[in-house]
Each structure stands twice: as C-alpha cells, then as structure tokens.
Structure 1
Amino acid sequence: MGWVVIVAVLLMTVLCLLKVNVILSIIISAIAAGLMSGLGFVDSVELMVSGMGESANTALSYILLGAFAAAISYTGITKILVNFIIRILTGKKTMMLLALAGVASLSQNLVPVHIAFIPILIPPLLKLFDQMRMDRRAVAVSLAFGLKAPYVMIPAGFGLLFQDLILEGLRTNGAEITLNQVTLSMLIPGSGMIFGLLVAILVSYRKDKLPENKEKDTEANAVDLIEEVSFSKKHAWTLVAIVLALIVQIITGNLILGALTGIIALFVFVAVPYRELDQIMTRGISMMGTISFVILVAAGFAEVLQQTGAVAELVEASASVLGDNKPLIAFVLLLLGLVITIGIGTSFGTIPIIAALFVPICLTAGFSPLATAALVGTAGALGDAGSPASDSTLGPTAGLNTDGRHNHIWDTCVPTFLHFNIPLFIFGWIAAMVL
C-alpha cells in the first residue's frame, strides 16, 4: 500500500495547483487515502479528525501569537520599524529582500516568535513593495528562507528543537551521535538554501514587476507609510511585554504561555486599552485562523497516512529493491522524504517518522552517523518550504495577501519549492556522500 502515500500527496498537490482551497484539498486527499487503504468514508473522516488533536497545541499557539501580533501592531511601534526600513531601504530591492530574510531569521533563533512577526511587519510595507515594483514572489522566498534555514542550521530556539528531534530520532533507532555532530551534518544542506535564496533574489525575480489590479485597494494597503511616530512610554511598555513573553516562552518551552503573557502584559501596562480586547482577539483570529485550521487538517491527513501503514510500507518497499548502492539509497530516501513531508506539511512533525524508518536502512547500508543525520534532517526539511500546508508558506502568504494580490500556491508555494527544495535535495545528497 506504499503507493497510497504518493497518490494522496499528488492528489493534494494537483488540487492545490488547480486553486482548490487548501483545506478542502487536504481533506479530500485524506479521505482518498483512507478509501485506497480499505477504509470507508466515515472511518476515514473519523481517523483524520482523531489525528487533528495532535496539533491543537500548535494551532492555539498561532491564534494567540496572532492576537499578540495584533496587539503589538495596535500600539504603533511597528510604524517606527517600518519608517526606518523605508528611509534606509527604499529603492534598494536587493538590500530590502536580504533585510527581510534577516528579520525572519531572527524569528527562529534569537527572538523565537516564528511567524508572528509577519502580520505585524509585512502589511504596512505592501504599498512600498508596489511602488518599488518588487516581485512579491521574491519577498515570499526571502521570508520562507528566514523561517526555515536558521532552524535547519543553527541549534538555538526552534533550531535547537529541530536538531534535538534529529538527535533523539537517531539515538532511539541505534545510531551514536552528538548534538554538535547533528549541527555539523546540517551545514551542507542548509548551504543549499542560501544558494536558493541568492538565485531567487539575483536571478529569478530580479526584474521589476508591476502590481496586478492596481486599482484595487484595501485598508491594509492604504497604511500611511510616511507617518512619523515618536517613541513613547507606550512603546517602552510594549518592548517590556515582548521581553516578558520571550522569557516565559524560553523558560516554559511553551508558545501558548509566552503569547498569553505578552497579551496580558500589554493590557496590564495599558499599552493597549482593555476596551480593545475583543477587537484585538478578533484580528488575531482573522490573521492566523486559516493557518491554524490548515495545520489541524494537515495533522489529520498525516494520521490517516500513518495509521493505515502506507508510509512504512512505502519505505520498506523502496529499501527492498535498493540493495547496498549508497548513492541510489540516499537519492531515494530524500525523494521519499520530500513526498512524505510535503504531504504532512511540517518538518518537526515528520522527523520522528522519518528517523524511525530511515535510520535502520542507513545503518544497514553503511552510512556514517553524520551522513545518516544529514539524510534524516534533509528529508524532514524537504517539502516544508513548498508545501501548501506548511507554516513556512502559510506565514508569508498571510502577510503578502492582506490586499488580495498574492496567490498562496503560485506566488508562495511554487517559488519556495523550486528555490529551496531542489538545492536542499542536491546539497543533502552531497552531504550524505561526503560525511
């Protein structure tokens, strides 16, 4: 039944490319996977729903992060940052894109707020992007790079969580390796993402692009980008609230508690009036609600694939015909990782699955622990950028489509897939051969 995974993922991909709603595409594909595995309609849906609970924590985290982002935006502190960016980088497209990639990178390691900064920073800049005739696909690639590359290569913040998952997966399945070795093994695959970013900025999307439907406008696109905002006591308290949120998040390791602390602090310090609480929560749900539901449904899709045994059978069937040809084994395992991850939509959720399936194959074939870590980490990372259900693509789209001029599949998923998954695949294969 290993073919079920491939058919289900291809079905989801085709539906998304045909501009069928992402959530509907995943639901239809999950039901199709269940039917192909011998389940009925009701059993397939119930299995999918049971799997959604596994990502409830992540979904709620994003809702509260969205509310926190909306509250921070309400204080006006983001206008200070936006105005600074405008003064320094207007007309400098390459520097603007690299700066956005840098800001996004900080969100994974130094200030681990993940995608919560996007709805704060990006919407006010949309009008500037249009004035600069910037291709928004380049912006999507830059943001996706910052959301992904740092956790692949740097063992801090979300990167520490990702590399710990690789470490635990390898040790659990019989490989002896240290965290430092895991970090070393991911440097070569991560370098592929740097290459992809530079290609996107300097080659693929370098030309000017006139904004489509220029006559269409929204409140988000009409933000006064030249309004001067002076730093005030309210902004100082906002920074304190952000620091408190980060401290709680780091101490507890829980995004929900971190975001909740930040929201409460903003109201306690009166940086945001209490009467605005309902409006702030509504805006947060509006910004991040779709992402949260996609993540929930994607978790249900993953549950259907796993519980039916389709993923395990796909890997076992592949391993049985590969023999001891290491270059071919590495190629096929990375290809399987791409298929599995693009369907599940999350590197973090995929690593434990991939490690359990791949490590025994790698050890039997004679791969070193570092090469095995590179294969598992790269296979888990493949498909995250480019997956319709990944927060690495949903996050950039949430910011760039605020004015309705950015398509999730063709303007975010396809560009990020081409510029990150292909280099990741090649550099990951090289790492498996040389380490």
Structure 2
Amino acid sequence: EAGIDISNISVTKAMAIPALGMFVGLLVAVFISYRKPRQYQQLAIDKAAHDEVLEGDALSKTAAGAQTQSKMKTLVALAAIVTAFVVQMYTDSLLLGSMFGFGVFMATGVVKWSEADTVFNDGIKLMAMIGFIMITAQGFAEVMKATEQIQPLVDGAASLFAGNKAIAAFIMLLIGLIVT
C-alpha cells in the first residue's frame, strides 16, 4: 500500500531480530536473573497452621525434589513449544498447534486435570488482552497512515543515525514497540 517493493522480503528473516531478542531475554532470565541466591527472613509462624500446610502441600517435598521437578517442567515446556510450532507449521493452524502444545502439558501432568479449566481460561484472557492491544495498535497505525505521519517519523529516526543501519533498525523497532 505504501509503494515499497517487498517481493524479496522474508517475514521469517525480518522477525528473526525480535525473536532473537526474546530468546536472549529468556536465557538471561533463566541463567542469570533467577539463579541468584535468595535471602529469606526468618519469621515466627503458627505451628498448627504450618503443620497443616506441610501435610498436603508441595512444601513437604525436599529441595532437591522440587528442583528436579522444576527442571522437568522446563523441559516439558520446551517440548510443548516445539510440538506447538511443528504442528502449526505442518497444519497451518494456530489453533491446532496451541491445542497440541496444551495437550503436552496435560499429558505430562505439568497442568493437572483439576487446574486445566483455570489454566485454559487464563490463557484465553491473556490472548484476548494481546488481541485488544494488537487491534488498538492497528487503529493507531491507520491514524498515522491517514495523517501521513509515518514518513516524517521514519525520516526523523533515519536522519539521527546518519547511515548506521543497525542502530537505525534498533530505533525503528523501539519506535514500533512504543507505538504498539
């Protein structure tokens, strides 16, 4: 619509930069941010309430068992992501891919049958929120197109970096995130 030739542009290659950023963020979170030792305060507790919690709760597990379970959940999550991606690629159906990914969580017991409705409904709420944000961003983009303010925004960002394509691309991604 803007008159730019996009015949040689690959969406996969264009989205590689944001996808790589999310992957790096995931690695930083897993291996740096959440690996730091935590300092807990020792507080007085009600002994009867404490014993009641220990009888049927996950707190009764040993630290090693809880850590092993956490690693297992991470591996199951990775398997669910791969499953959802593969199913989506071969069937061209986002819905089918997400159902298979959720099925992996259910089949392995990471999501218990009793919690399935809550987890599924929370996922639907999250997708609705994301959809609302995307619709709002699309509306804002249409306003920018109608008022012909896209070109001045791009020209202003490009002129700031005088030919440095990497920084200009980063700033344009940042502007896109801010607009969204």
Query: TM-score normalised by the shorter chain: which range applies?
Result: 0.3 to 0.5
Larger radius of gyration: 2
**Greater relative CO, 1 or 2 (CA 8 Å, sep 6+):** 1
TM-score (ref. length: structure 2): 0.45
TM-score (ref. length: structure 1): 0.23
